[in-house]
Amino acid sequence: MLERERATAEREKLRLEQAANDTEIRRLEAEQEARINQFHETGRWTRKYTGERVKNVKGAEELLSHLENEAGGAPHADIQEARMMLTEADNELAMVPEDALNAAVADAASKPVYSRALDKLRERQRIIARQTNRIDRRLERLDPRITKLDEAVIAAEAAVVRVREGRVALRKAKQEADKAKRASQRDVKKAKKALRRTEGRLPVHLYVEKLVKTLGNNNKMPRGILESEAFVSARTKDRQIKLTNEQRREAIELGLLRNDLFGIMYAAHDDITTRLGMRKVFGTENVEDVIAEVADEYTSLAAQARANKNLKNPEKRAAQLEKESANIQKDIEASWDRLLGRYGLPDDPEGFLHYSYQKLSRS
C-alpha cells in the first residue's frame, strides 16, 4: 500500500514537471521565432548579389559602349536592346537589399535552429516520459496485490466491528449480572440486619447460650485474640520476621529496613512520573525501541555512503557512521538509565563493597 502511494505521488510529481516543461518549451519557441523574424543576417547575400549584379552592369555598359562606338554604326535595334539590358541590370543592382533579405529569410527557414535550453528541456521530457511509463507498469503489477490487501483490510475491519459488538454485548451482560449481584447483596444485608435486630430482641441468657454454642462448633481461634498469639502451624502459617523493638531500630540504622514512608512514596512517584514523561515524549519507556530507530537510521546512512561514488573512500565513511551509531546507542542507553535512576548501579547491590559505600555516603 505504501509503495503504491509512493509510486502515485512520484507519477504526479513527474506530470507536474512535464506540464511546466511544456509551458517553458512553448515560451522559448515563441521567443525564438520572434527573434528570428526581427533580425536576419543579410551580409553574405548582399555581397554575393552585389558582386554578381555589378558585373552584369559593367558588362551591359561595355556592350552599349561597343555598339555605340562601332565603326560604321551598329544597328539601332541592337543599341536599343543593349540600353534595355543596362537598365535591367541597374534595376537588379538597386534590388540587392530586398533580394538579400528574402534569401536570408528563406535560408533561415530551411535550417533547424539550435537552442541549448530547448534541447535540455526536450531531453528532460523524453526522460520523464520513460519514467512515467516505468511507474505505470509498476502500478499495473501492484494493483492485483493491493486489491487482495484491500479485501483483507475490509475483512479485518469487519472482524474488529464484530469483536467490538461482542465486547459491548459482554459488557452489557456483565452490567446486568453486576446489577443482579448488587441486588442480591442488598437482600443479604437486609436479611442480616433483620436477623441482628431479631437477635437483639432475644433475652440475654438465650444470646449467651447461642454464642457459646457458636464458639464451641468453631475450630479456629476467635479473631479477638492478638495476631502474635495466633497458633497457625505447618505450611499455612504466615512467614514473618519477628523483631523486638531494639532489633528493629538496629536494622533501620544499618539500612536493612526503611521507616520513612514518605521517602518510599516519593521514590515511587518519581519513578512513575519519569516513565509517564518518557511515554509522552518518546512514545515508549523501553530504550530498545529508541535504539532500534537510531540503528536503522545509521544503517541507512552507511548504505548510502557505500553506494555514493563521489566519496573518495566510501567504506571508511560507512565505518565512521557505524562507529558513531555505536557511540550514540551507548549514550542513549546511559541517559535512559540515568533518567530511570539505574545509571551506575553495581553488579552486586548486596555485596560488601556497595554496602560499605552506601554507609560512607550517608555518614
pLDDT in tens, the chain (363 residues): 677 777 788 888 888 888 888 888 888 777 766 556 545 667 888 888 888 888 888 888 888 788 778 777 777 787 788 888 888 888 888 888 888 878 877 776 665 555 677 788 888 888 988 888 888 888 777 777 777 777 888 888 889 999 999 899 999 999 999 999 888 888 888 888 887 777 666 665 666 667 666 655 655 544 444 344 444 444 445 556 677 878 877 776 776 666 666 666 767 777 788 888 888 888 888 888 888 888 899 899 889 888 888 888 888 888 998 999 899 989 888 888 887 777 666 665 556 665 666 666 555
Q: How far, CA to CA in Å, does 252 sit from each of 247, 255, 282, 333? A: 9, 5, 39, 34
Q: Give the three cell numbers for residue 311.
A: 566519496
Confidence at residue 308, expressed as pLDDT on a 0 to 100 scale: 85
Which residues lie below 8 Å from residue 64, measured CB to CB, with a gap of 6+?
Answer: 79, 82, 83, 85, 86
Q: Give the three cell numbers for residue 121.
A: 528541456
Confidence at residue 226, expressed as pLDDT on a 0 to 100 scale: 38
CB 100 within 8 A of CB 49: yes
CB 82 within 8 A of CB 64: yes
Which residues lie below 8 Å from residue 265, measured CB to CB, with a gap of 6+?
Answer: none
What's the predicted TM-score (pTM) here? 0.29
Confidence at residue 111, expressed as pLDDT on a 0 to 100 scale: 58
CB 126 within 8 A of CB 21: no
Buried-exposed string 296-310: b where 16+ CB fall within 10 A, e elsewhere: eebeebbeebeeeee
CB 42 within 8 A of CB 101: yes
Q: Where are the alpha helices (DSSP H) in the chain?
A: 2-38, 43-68, 76-94, 96-110, 116-200, 204-217, 245-253, 261-282, 287-307, 314-339, 352-362
Other beta carbons less than 10 A from residue 254's beta carbon: 10
Q: Give the three cell numbers for residue 73.
A: 554604326
CB 100 within 8 A of CB 46: yes
Output phi, psi for 351, to 5 deg: -70, 170
Q: Residue written as cell 537598365?
A: 87
